[in-house]
Amino acid sequence: MDKSLKIAIGTEAFPPTIDGISTVAKCYADVINEKYGKAVIVTPKNPNQEDYKYPYEIYRYDSLFTFGEGYPVGWPFKKQFALDIIAKNFDILHSHCPIATSYFYRRINRIHRIPQILTYHTKYEYDIEGRVPIWAIRHRAYGFLLNNIKSADEVWVTSHGTVDSLRKIGYEGDYIVMPNGCDLPKFDTTDDMKAMIRRKHNIPQNVPILLFVGRMMWYKNIRIILEACKLLKDNGKDFRMIMIGMGPEEMQIKRLCTKLGLNDKVIFTGQILDRTELQMYYGTADLQVFPSIFDTNGLVVREAAASATPTIVVKDSCASEGIVDCETGFLCLESPHSVAKTIENVVDNKDLLSRVGINARNNIYISWDESIANAYKRYQVVIDKFKSTPHSKYEY
């Protein structure tokens, strides 16, 4: 391994705020500090922060307020914040969000150039198009996002399909595919654990369990899941759909569930923070249903694979990358009928589910140790390239 590096892992949110990107940032910091060098989390202040729980440094800059499920709005404009980061003598800055974090890194680089990587995780055009109705403001938002992306010395994406989002925003440069890992270990859920989950939710032994894990947001295609469940129920199929997660549209989703007459089939657990408990749910489920086309990597697909549970995903979505139909998962179209038909075709075939689940574990699962080993090697490449290239005044 190359020399020990000091890395600034920048993220808009960090625990106690939990989402995919905060989990990624935490895993980077955990593994780098344990095995390679030194990683410092750079993130906005959170009124509920419990940074004393972590064995590494967390640098918090100002936030204006929090919204939603505790998301802080970063305010990195004070020059002292940039000087603080420069004084820490980082070898590289790694941003996991092209908004406040990347803008903060731009401000740092206007004073002192440090090589910078951006991992582009999310299809931000969904949020911009859905939440910014005025064209002029939307145009400025895209411009702000594009300048933040272009400010990085190297751009990483978590899947090949993510590139489409970058191109829609206007980025035409090069990129590197750097998949995320999974923090859940490969694990065989015991019969006693499965029985405990079934008892907890009063699910009979012979009733198939379907699973969704993720934020309660419509853009996860949760409407398709519920409408597929309605079709299954109308066809006389008995099942239970366990929905794990929380989000700002949770009440709307529950109202639709009631409207469709699914309260006897769909179970909402809320967010499960205990990763051991969550893995028990993955291992108990017969099949995960994840028809999202929003997600750029679909961590939950790999999390289910850790417990040898296969997932239904939409064909040609980012989440489907690496999935071979009926070999490492199941492919469907982006429609309730297709999801319901796929479930009906496979959910009672225990041998098929077992074989596909084991194949998923063996072929699409990637641990964070493996993922970050690849990233750490790439850090050195970016640093060496940076040092060998003349740098003019910072452009962005």
Instruction: Say which CATH number the domain at 75 has.
Output: 3.40.50.2000
How many C-beta neighbours within 10 Å does residue 276 have? 10
Place of tokens 């940074």: 51
Which pLDDT belongs to residue 3? 78
Q: Is the pLDDT of residue 394 over 60?
A: no
pLDDT tens-digit series, residues 38-58:
999 999 999 999 999 999 999
Range of the domain at 170: 6-181+368-387
Which pLDDT belongs to residue 126? 72
Residues 111 and 65 in one domain: yes
Residue type, 330: F
Could you give the CA distance from residue 262 to residue 147 in angstroms, rounded to a whole number?
46
When mean pLDDT is compared over 58-67, 87-96, 295-304, the highest value belongs to 87-96
Residues 224 and 357 in one domain: yes
Q: Is the pLDDT of residue 60 over 90?
A: yes
User: Predicted confidence band at 222 (pLDDT cuts at 50, 70, 90)?
Assistant: very high
Per the structure, the count of domains in the chain is 2
Q: Strand 209-213 relative to strand 176-177: parallel, antiparallel, unpaired?
A: unpaired
Q: Is the pLDDT of residue 269 over 80?
A: yes
3-state SS class at 384: helix
Which pLDDT belongs to residue 333? 98
Could you give the CA distance from residue 42 to residue 86 in angstroms, rounded to a whole number?
12
Residues 340 and 283 in one domain: yes
Residues 374 and 249 in one domain: no
Residues 306 and 265 in one domain: yes
Q: Is the pLDDT of residue 341 over 50?
A: yes
pLDDT tens-digit series, residues 289-307:
999 998 877 889 999 999 9
3-state SS class at 329: strand
Which pLDDT belongs to residue 127? 72
Which pLDDT belongs to residue 391? 72
Q: Taking residues 262-266, report their average pLDDT.
A: 98
Could you give the CA distance from residue 160 to residue 164 in angstroms, rounded to a whole number?
8
Phi then psi dihedrals of residue 9, to 5 deg: -95, 105
Residues 218 and 326 in one domain: yes
Residues 251 and 337 in one domain: yes
Residues 345 and 376 in one domain: no
Q: Measure the CA angle with vertex 257, ends 254 and 261; round to 5°.
A: 140
User: Predicted confidence band at 345 (pLDDT cuts at 50, 70, 90)?
Assistant: very high
3-state SS class at 318: helix
Which pLDDT belongs to residue 108? 96
Tokens of 285: 């489920």
Residues 244 and 96 in one domain: no
Which pLDDT belongs to residue 393? 56
Residues 176 and 267 in one domain: no
b/e 131-159 (16+ beta carbons within 10 angstroms → b): eeeeeeeeeebbeebbbbbbbbbbbbbbb
User: Predicted confidence band at 141 (pLDDT cuts at 50, 70, 90)?
Assistant: confident
Could you give the CA distance from residue 21 to residue 71 in angstroms, rounded to a whole number?
12
pTM for this model (two decimals) = 0.87
Does residue 1 lie within any of the structural domains? no
Which pLDDT belongs to residue 396? 52
Burial class (CB in 10 A: 0-12, 13-18, 19+), 110: middle
Q: Taking residues 139-165, report their average pLDDT.
A: 91
User: Predicted confidence band at 4 (pLDDT cuts at 50, 70, 90)?
Assistant: very high
User: Predicted confidence band at 1 (pLDDT cuts at 50, 70, 90)?
Assistant: very low
Which pLDDT belongs to residue 116? 97
Residues 176 and 198 in one domain: no
- Please state which of the ranges 50-64, 132-146, 225-239, 376-390 shows the lowest mean pLDDT: 132-146
Mean of pLDDT over the chain: 93
Residues 156 and 208 in one domain: no
Does residue 395 lie within any of the structural domains? no
Could you give the CA distance from residue 125 to residue 166 in angstroms, rounded to a whole number?
9
Q: 210: which residues sit within 8 A by CB, 6+ positions away?
A: 229, 239, 240, 241, 242, 285, 286, 287, 288, 289, 343, 347
